[in-house]
Amino acid sequence: MPLQPTPSTSSHSEFRPVDKRADRRAERRTHDRAQKGPHPSAHTVPFELEDKSCSQVLFDLMQTAPKDGMTVRAIIHSLGERGLLMACMLFSIPSMLPIPLPGISIPQGLVIMLIGLGILLNRAPLLPERLLEYRLPHKTLFLILEKGARLFHRIEKLSYPRLLPMTHGWVHGLNGVLLVLGAAVLMAPLPIPFSNVLPAYGILFTAFGTLQRDGWLVIAGYVMYFLTVLYISLVFVFGMSWIYGLVHLILRHH
């Protein structure tokens, strides 16, 4: 395949092979955008994959993120055609960090919940202007992007299209429901250690599996949701038993 120089804004010329298939893919994406209009429906987002991997998109964003941080609107726009599901994946990351990030649980949960509703209703999510203008500081954004890029890279090594019925049809709507429920748990002020970690992984796997058309990854998300319910239920049951025993002991001494 012959090599031709590609114009570049940098001082060095960049050489790459002429790939007619890439040109056709670009033309097809342009045509699809024109057909969809300025507000594509939520269900169209997962099915048009870009050439870059999800981890590479986050890595590139790390290099170009402004020093004053980014708004939710700018983040979603920077994620490209896969912005909605990738936003779910990205906003699940703060709950996986070893040090909680103050003030982000409500915006984090709302973004995921509204996108999940959009997927469930098969329409573009209505994100409030105030939420879109919420700004993540550069330090917070960098921590999220760094953790996300590494985690996404590990998942991508194991993920590929398989068990496709778990990412299409009525199951696609079910995945939207689970995203909404997982986001509700993230926003709930539960005084339980690690109560946010399990649903965050459930959101990540469900959104990632839908995006990659990987049914087994979606099932892994279901497992994390089940473990979330089991964990919270066990903590509640044993906690109530402990409180009942403590109250009974105090009453006996009186």
- State residue 202's pLDDT score: 95
- State residue 240's pLDDT score: 76
Q: What is the 3-state secondary structure (H, E, C) of 179-218?
A: HHHHHHHHHCCCCCCCCCHHHHHHHHHHHHHHHHCEHHHH
- State residue 193's pLDDT score: 80
Which pLDDT tens digit goes with each residue over 97-124?
877 777 788 889 999 999 999 888 888 7
Statement: residue 27 has pLDDT above 60: no
Q: What end-to-end distance do the CA atoms of the chain give, in Å?
A: 90
pTM (two decimals): 0.74
Statement: residue 17 has pLDDT above 90: no
Which pLDDT tens digit goes with each residue over 40-59?
333 333 334 456 889 999 99
Q: Is the dihedral of CA 14, 15, 18, 19 positive or negative?
A: negative
Q: What is the largest CA-CA distance in the chain?
A: 92
Is the CB of residue 179 less than 8 Å from the CB of residue 206? yes
- State residue 209's pLDDT score: 94
Which pLDDT tens digit goes with each residue over 157-211?
999 999 999 988 889 889 999 999 999 999 887 778 888 899 999 999 999 999 9
Which pLDDT tens digit goes with each residue over 228-245?
999 999 988 887 777 777
Which tokens is 191 given? 């005084």
In whole angstroms, give the CA distance from residue 128 to residue 110.
10
Where residue 69 falls (left for φ over 0; alpha for ψ -120 to 50; beta otherwise) is: left
250 vs 157 pLDDT, higher one? 157
Name the residue ranges covered by the structural domains of the chain. 43-228
Helix, strand, or coil (residue 70): strand
Instruction: Identify the weakest region by mean pLDDT among 58-62, 66-70, 77-81.
Output: 77-81
Over the chain, what is the mean pLDDT? 79
